[in-house]
Chains A and B, each alone.
Chain A
Amino acid sequence: MPDIKRIKVGTASCGLAAGAAEVLDAFQRLSGSIPVVEVGCIGHCYAEPMVELELNDGTSIFYSSVKGDEKSVNAILGLTETGRFQVPAERAALEKLNVTRLSGSIDPKDIEEYKANGGFSSLKKAFELKPEGVIEAMKRSGLRGRGGAGFPTGNKWSFLAAKKADEKILIMNADEGDPGAFMDRSMMECVPFQVMEGMLIGAYATGATRIFIYCRAEYPLAIKHLNIAINELKKQGYDRLPGREKPLDIQIKEGAGAFVCGEETAMIASLEGKRGQPRFRPPFPTDSGWNTYPTAINNVETFANVPVVIADPDAFAALGSERSKGTKIFALAGDLKYPGLTEVPMGITLADIVYKIGGAEPGSVKAVQTGGPSGGCIPADKFDVKVDYDSLKELGAIMGSGGLIVIGNNRCMVETARYFLDFTHRESCGKCTFCRVGTTRMFETLENITAGKGKPEDIDFLVDIGNKIRKGSLCALGQTAPNPALSTIRYFRNEYEAHVKDGYCPTFQCAALSDVRLDPDKCVKCRLCIKTCPVQAIGDDFKVDNAKCTRCNTCMEVCPKKAISRVKKGDGFSSNLSK
């Protein structure tokens, strides 16, 4: 038996969804005396479930897409060559794993392992620097808030530090509401002690006495790991900061599913037990926040960056672009080969992220949506843009929290915009008329266009009302909600025009604007489609009747010859027309 020192199974949410629980169970049964530990995620979510074997000689072997059956597990225990995993060299050269250095390599529940890997050395250094020194270092590093707005963290902390009050509040925004982003979940699940170390440094520097972690309830594993971390920190006395009489009050509050609660004043209202509606600023939360106490809010990834910054602020500032320092974690998803998380220096080109790291096929990608429902799309011909806060904004998109959804050539951009407006119009809190009514009108208009009921003047209407919503809304939700529609109109107006003027969807995605056709030359008459069609739209003549067809795609999925496909509206057979 070769010398395996330890077996690590990745059991973050992505791993578990891919079947890591069975794999873990199998290794625990079959590994004999070799210890088996659960670790987080190394970002290569496409390769889950993943297993790492630590060998006695100090090296490691990774296996990807591991199965939980006895044969596969025994083969791995015998160090088989098959199924070994290595980060592609091209990707490894572009990545810079600073903040995610320990993610997936340590047991997230074990404080001692975090310490053995340099954990809490930044906290110790912070105590030596004193609060002023910490804030100075934060400013010098140039770290900007990773939640989306990009406000300099050092400045925010200095505002809170300057306040005199009985209680000061520091909130960790772990509400990651942007569908398509999951870096915060991953940091909380995989390196909770690192996130908490950043939080403790923040509390020390700003004089905060009470800490809230506002985490979305959809992240049960993250909440579990944070709870373990908080208990451990209390047990070891980390909640007692130097020069303080009372220990820090640290609480986790579960969000209840409202996108607008990512906005800081809405989050504070929610923490007070109210409807999560934003309010006017000023007063800014650092003047009057939770129950009128001075309050600052930072994002999970920002806190995860803090230990890295304090360890060496100048090294941090040396990375990245001129006005966006350090690295950024991006969540890659959509039409690409390697979805997952990647940490790269700011200023890298979008093309490098999408093609070289994400493995998307050049030519297969139409656009990238950044910043979720608040962001915009960037067309493939602009992928040479350097990714940082300011350059993305110039293109009509935003950095946001770091979600990057790759949109393939076969996706309809009008439908994509409709999807985002469907989300934002439901999530609008209802306070501002422009946002409440305006996003609903935009959604209805887009719904009409994708349903084949669009009019040519709809496009200008969307632009007009979109600009008005931007100006007439109090918070970032309304100010950014029109972005998906406005940016798709800016770059893909031709697709909108095809829908409203020519009556067809260029990608055949919109059901009402496309037909389904069976290609008789490819058909082998196996009748599978006829049997499975839920509405009997396919007759014995092997023709799809588009008057009956609901465009459910069932036939396309069962057809062994891929003989059935969506075609341009009017190109398919319809019993209505033949009469």
Chain B
Amino acid sequence: MGNEFSYLSEIGTEKGDLIKGLQLVQSREGYVSDDAIRAISKHFSIAEAEIEGVLTFYAQFKRTKPGKYKICVCDGTACHIKGSILIQDWLSSALGISDGQTTEDGIFSIETVACLGCCSLAPVMSVNGKVYGKLNRKSLLKILSDYRKMEE
């Protein structure tokens, strides 16, 4: 395990900061690994099982490694009304993965999220935090191919 998670010392050891600690780990690693849970358990002096209990309660925390480009498809009410199911289908068929999965080459992962707060631009998705609005099939495929090109 080593000092891989030594940055946890940036935050306090009070239990109230547990979620903050998990968020810090996730922002650094992209997900919360078994090793990370062990390190967090030590830092806060909280049982690993309890940490697992807290982190699985919240949708934000991931236990699997996401792709280099993390695609979040909004399925908030406005996007749903505007056809986000189709966006999810098109993405899945273009990338060959479904919700929560990462492509084999580790480039893309798809995640369905509750709301990105850009309801007036529905349907929307974000790639590594950058929001793309008023999507249709054509613009969606263009976005994917633009990211693919950057990898070549």
Q: How many residues of A contact B (CB 8 A)?
A: 62
Contact: B81 with A276, CB < 8 Å? no
A114 within 8 A of B: no
Chain B residues in 8 Å Cβ range of A557? 136-138
**Segment from B1-9, B102-110, B120-128, B144-152 that makes contact with A:** B120-128
Contact with B along A397-435 (1 / 0, CB 8 A): 000000101011001000010011001000001000000
Q: Which residues of B contact A423 (CB under 8 A)?
A: 114
Contact A46 B120 (CB under 8 A): yes
Q: Which residues of B contact A258 (CB under 8 A)?
A: 57-59
CA distance A547 to B124 in the complex (A): 31
Q: Within the assembled complex, what's the spacing in Å between the Cα atoms of A254 and B16?
A: 12
Alpha-carbon distance A18/B132, docked complex (angstroms):
8
A16-B76 CB under 8 A given contacts A253-B20, A257-B114, A552-B86: no
A1-48, CB < 8 A from B: 13-14, 16-18, 45-46, 48
Residues of A within 8 A of B131 (CB): 13, 16-17
The yes or no answer to A326 lying at the interface (CB within 8 A) is no
The answer on a CB contact under 8 Å between B121 and A18 is: yes
Are A256 and B120 in contact, CB atoms less than 8 angstroms apart?
A: no
* Complex-state Cα separation, A520 to B122, whole angstroms: 32
Q: Judging by beta carbons under 8 Å apart, are A276 and B18 in contact?
A: no
A18 to B135, CA, bound (A): 11
**Complex formed: what's the CA distance from A479 to B76 in Å?**
21
Residues of A within 8 A of B57 (CB): 258, 275-276, 429
- Near B by CB (< 8 A), chain A positions 67-87 give none
Q: Which residue in A255, A273, A340 is a CB contact (below 8 Å) of B120?
A: A340
B residues near A16, Cβ cutoff 8 Å: 131
B22 close to A (CB within 8 Å):
yes
Secondary structure class of chain A's binding surface, majority of residues: mixed
Residues of A within 8 A of B115 (CB): 177-180, 182, 218
- Name B119's contact: one of A255, A270, A275, A331 (CB within 8 Å): A331
Q: Does A281 reach chain B (CB closer than 8 Å)? A: no
A285 part of interface (Cβ distance < 8 Å): no
Chain A hits for B19, CB < 8 A: 253-254, 256, 270, 273
B95 within 8 A of A: no
User: Chain A's nearest CB lies how many Å from the CB of B122?
Assistant: 6
B64 at the interface (CB under 8 A from A): no
| Residues 176-214 of chain A, each 1 if its beta carbon lies under 8 Å from chain B, else 0 | 111111100100000000000000000000000000000
CA distance A217 to B20 in the complex (A): 11
User: Chain A residues near B77 (CB, 8 Å)?
Assistant: 179-180, 333-334, 369, 372-373, 403, 405, 419-420
Are A256's CB and B133's CB within 8 A? no
Over the window 503-539 of chain A, the binary record of Cβ atoms lying under 8 Å from chain B Cβ atoms (1 yes, 0 no) is: 0000000000000000000000000000000100000
| B15 adjacent to A273 (CB under 8 Å) | yes
**Contact of A217 with B120 in the complex, beta carbons under 8 Å:** no
- Nearest residue (CB) in A for B116 is A218
B119 lies within 8 A of A182 (CB): yes
**Nearest CB to that of B113 among chain A residues?**
A218
| Inter-subunit contact B60/A180 (CB<8 Å) | no
B117 touches A219 (CB 8 A): yes
In the complex, the chain A residue whose C-beta lies closest to that of B27 is A217
Q: How far is the CA of A48 from the CA of B121 in the complex (A)?
A: 10
Residues of B close to A142: CB separation below 8 A: none
Query: B18 to chain A: which residues have CB within 8 Å?
Result: 273
Q: B80 interface residue, CB < 8 Å from A?
A: yes
Nearest CB on A from B57, distance (A):
4
Question: Separation in Å of the A403 CB from the closest CB of chain B?
Answer: 7
Find A182's partner among B17, B23, B117 (CB 8 Å cutoff).
B117
Chain A minimum-CB-distance residue to B23: A254
CA distance A220 to B117 in the complex (A): 11
Interface size on B, residues (CB 8 A): 46
Residue of A14, A218, A403, A534 near B93 (CB, 8 A) is A534
Residue of B16, B129, B132, B137 with most chain A CB atoms under a 10 A cut-off: B16
The complex places the Cα of A244 from the Cα of B61 at a distance, in Å, of 40
B15 touches A339 (CB 8 A): no
- Taking a contact as CB atoms under 8 Å apart, the answer to whether A256 and B61 are in contact is yes
Q: Mark interface residues in B81-112 (1 if CB within 8 Å of A CB, else 0).
A: 11100100110010000000000000000000
Does any Cβ of A come within 8 Å of B118's Cβ? yes
B54 at interface (Cβ–Cβ under 8 A)?
A: yes
Contact between A335 and B120, CB atoms less than 8 A apart:
no
Q: A180-B115, A257-B58, A554-B137 are contacts. A407–B81 as well, Cβ < 8 Å? A: yes
Set of chain A residues within 8 Å of B22, measured between Cβ atoms: 256
Chain A residues with CB under 8 Å of B17's CB are: 273
Is B86 in contact with A553, judged by CB distance below 8 angstroms?
A: yes
**Contact of A246 with B by CB under 8 A:** no
Min CB gap B112→A, angstroms:
10
Q: Does B37 contact A (CB under 8 A)?
A: no
Residue of B with least CB distance to A219: B117
Q: Is residue B36 within 8 Å, beta carbon to beta carbon, of the partner chain?
A: no
Cβ of A157 under 8 Å from chain B? no
Given A254-B23, A257-B114, are A180 and B59 also a contact pair (CB < 8 Å)?
no
Known interface pairs A256-B61, A273-B54, A423-B114. Does A17 touch B78 (Cβ–Cβ under 8 Å)?
Answer: no
Asked if A419 and B136 make an inter-chain contact with CB atoms under 8 angstroms apart, the answer reads no
Distance of A420 Cα from B20 Cα, bound (Å): 29
Across the two chains, which residue of chain A brings its CB closest to B82?
Answer: A334
| CB atoms of A14 and B120 under 8 A apart | yes
Question: A: which residues have CB within 8 A of B?
Answer: 13-14, 16-18, 45-46, 48, 176-182, 185, 217-220, 253-259, 270-276, 291, 331-335, 339-340, 369, 372-373, 403, 405, 407-408, 411, 416, 419-420, 423, 429, 534, 550, 552-554, 557-558
**Besides A272-B15, A275-B57, A557-B137, 4 new A-B residue pairs in contact (Cβ under 8 A), listed by A number:** A333-B81, A333-B120, A339-B121, A405-B78
Nearest 3 Cβ contacts at the A-B interface: A179-B76, A45-B120, A256-B58
9 contacts between A and B (CB under 8 A): A177-B114, A179-B75, A218-B113, A218-B116, A257-B59, A332-B120, A333-B77, A405-B81, A420-B77
